Amino acid sequence: MKMLTVAALMCTIMALTTADDPAEAKSENDQTLSSVETDLVKRTYGCSYRWKRIYGRCFRYVARPLRWAQAEKNCQSMGGNLASVHSDQEYRKIQTLIVHICHRYREIWLGGHDGEEERAWLWSNGRRFNYRNWCRGEPNNNRGSQHCLQMNYSVRRCWDDDHCYKRKPSVCVKRCY
């Protein structure tokens, strides 16, 4: 009986080690179909999975708390940047995105910064900094080192400049395709 069990086990091991890897066995037709499906999803919705279309751009909430520079690098790794905001309507839609996922208003990083020159605010994606939603008395550069923009600050849920080393969730943005 032991010999039969050992023989069966050996046959199973040989079969498993010589079998094709299913990932490598994928045919060209399957790869083409996958590409077509991806293109169709992009054309239909304009944004890939986990991204939300808001006024012609794709936004994504990132829950993992990161420092501002880490959050920017994370967004870049996904083909975007930390989010820039260009109207009150867009700001409200981004807030809705956050509340939908978190079930509350969270303080999160946006792509605004004045690290190059104090009070010369820029967006990390290069867009014009033409919309502002600062809380009263902000940006105040408290202790001379607040150079990164957070949203949903205070009960007014407006903007505040904060220390870039703090870890916060973030919102990324990229163009729709």
Cα gap 60→102, rounded to integer Å: 13
Which band of pLDDT confidence, cut at 50, 70 and 90, is reported for residue 62?
very high
Q: What percent of the chain has pLDDT over 70?
A: 75
User: CA-to-CA distance for 137 and 120, rounded, in angstroms?
Assistant: 16
If we measure between CA atoms, which residue out of 88, 84, 59, 64 comes closest to residue 74?
A: 64
Fold of 46-175: Mannose-Binding Protein A; Chain A (3.10.100)
Any idea where the domains of the chain sit in the sequence?
46-175
- CA distance linking residue 137 with residue 112, whole number of Å: 17
9-13, 25-29, 173-177: segment of lowest average pLDDT:
25-29
Radius of gyration over every alpha carbon of the chain, rounded to an integer in angstroms: 24
38, 46 contact by CB (below 8 A): no
Q: Is the pLDDT of residue 93 over 70?
A: yes
Q: What are phi and psi of 7, to 5 degrees?
A: -65, -45
User: At residue 81, does pLDDT exceed 50?
Assistant: yes
Handedness of CA 95, 73, 50, 168 (dihedral sign): negative
Let me know the angle formed at the C-alpha of 149 by 147 and 150, rounded to the nearest 5 degrees: 135
Joined tokens for residue 116: 């190059």
The residue among 73, 38, 16 whose CA lies nearest residue 8 is 16
Dihedrals φ, ψ of 120, to 5°? -105, 80
Work out the pLDDT band at 149, boundaries 50, 70, 90.
Answer: very high
Give the mean model confidence (pLDDT) for residues 1-16: 44
Average pLDDT of span 32-53:
61
C-beta neighbour count of 141 within 10 angstroms: 13
> Where does the pLDDT of residue 46 fall: very low under 50, low under 70, confident under 90, or very high at 90 and above?
confident
Among residues 112, 101, 91, 116, the alpha carbon closest in space to that of 160 is found at: 112
Q: Is the pLDDT of residue 38 over 60?
A: no
Structure token digits, residue 101: 């996922």
Predicted pLDDT at 172: 98
pLDDT of residue 45: 55
